[in-house]
Amino acid sequence: MRTFLVAATGLPTILPTAALVVVVCFWLLALVRITGVDSFDADVDLRAWRLGGVPVAVALSLLTVLAWGLSVSAAVLLTVFRPPGAVAGPLRLAAAAGALLLAWAAACLIVRPLHRLFPDEPAAAVPPPPGHAA
């Protein structure tokens, strides 16, 4: 348990941990109806990031949870299988960046079928095939 707590609160994993705390607080406020799930929809358009079609809060919450889980998992693995020398610091940073990229790719895949649950949201823009005249 100590390894998990150190991994979740150590650098660079503290950044997704802080974001996860914000996400949990937001959803608690949404649960008691102090804020709405669509609070940020007018401000942000996530179609360019391939996360459109669902409320912004849902897409970013999903991205945050996935990034946090992958980042903490990578940090725990790097703590358990400690590489020799001074390579551990840059390796943890690279693992956190890789976790964010992997979480984004997974969130893009998960958000696509979730669009059916949110028919009021604009669909993600699908680019035309190459060579297709508009």
pLDDT (tens digit per residue) in 67-93: 999 999 988 888 888 766 677 778 888
Please tell me the pTM assigned to this model.
0.79
- Which one-letter DSSP state was computed for residue 35? S
What pLDDT is stored for residue 124 in this prediction? 52
Residue linked to tokens 């993600």 = 124
| Residue 59 contacts residue 117 (beta carbons within 8 Å) | no
What pLDDT is stored for residue 63 in this prediction? 94
Split at pLDDT 50, 70, 90, the class of 2 is: confident
State how far the Cα of 71 lies from the Cα of 24, in Å rounded to an integer.
17
What pLDDT is stored for residue 3 in this prediction? 79
- In this predicted model, which residue has the larger pLDDT, 133 or 51? 51
Nearest one of 2, 3, 1 to 82, comparing CA atoms: 3
Give the pLDDT confidence of 11-51 residue by residue, as tens digits.
888 899 999 999 999 999 999 988 888 777 767 777 878 88
* CA 97-100-105 angle, 5° bins: 130
Give the pLDDT confidence of 96-124 residue by residue, as tens digits.
899 999 999 999 999 888 877 876 655 55
* Cα-only R_g, the chain: 18
- What residues does each domain of the chain span? 2-117
CB under 8 Å to 89, separation ≥6 — which residues?
none
